[in-house]
Structure 1
């Protein structure tokens, strides 16, 4: 059986959460039944060290950095995943955004 639902998990600065959520909702991400704009947001602390050749949004080359971010989680049908990834990369300010696409197995057990 093919997996048709995925969770997209994104780590992003707080000031970009609303814009990204709106753009993804316009692309049918975060739609569950008769509801749209469904997303979970958690504040997290992120750590990173930009290496030589990086162009960091925040921080300096070679220095360990930390900052407040938000983790956004939204459901997405298979046919919208590719477009969702394009939208995330367009809106996201980081050179290398952390994006996880995770299969949802619920339908295998229904």
Structure 2
């Protein structure tokens, strides 16, 4: 299992999320299209040779963005990342992919005595 985190301009968020969800990412048990998102402000300065979707080469740009977090099964991760990159409006989208351990299913759960 992986956690995928990406940053996207607010106006493009639904399009990018839907593209990633269509790959099967964002499923938790009997639920689909699961994610958590937080609003923030991203910044960047396009360098010479860049073809920015927003802003101008050499100028610092501030953009209202969403940070979107979702889970993705091992077998879907490459397809999900490809969909993210294709749907994202930025030339170089910012994203992270984190490998998750399934500690609940791989170990016997124990409840500390003080919690009983």
Q: Deviations over 1:28-53 (max 9, x none)?
A: 10000111010011111101010000
Q: What's the TM-score once normalised by structure 1's chain length?
A: 0.89
Any gaps of 5 or more consecutive residues in structure 1? none
Name which of 30, 40, 43 aligns with 2:39: 43
1:53 alignment counterpart: 49
Name which one, 1 or 2, has greater alpha-carbon Rg: 2
Matched, 1:16 2:23: no
Q: Secondary structure at the match of 1:59?
A: coil
Matched, 1:90 2:86: yes
Q: What's the TM-score once normalised by structure 2's chain length?
A: 0.85
What is the alpha-carbon root mean square deviation over aligned residues? Answer: 1.4
Q: Deviations over 1:82-107 (max 9, x none)?
A: 00111011110000000100111233
1:101 alignment counterpart: 97
CA distance in structure 1 between the aligned counterparts of 2:77 and 2:100, rounded to whole angstroms: 13
Give the aligned length: 106
Name which of 57, 64, 73 aligns with 2:60: 64
1:28 alignment counterpart: 24
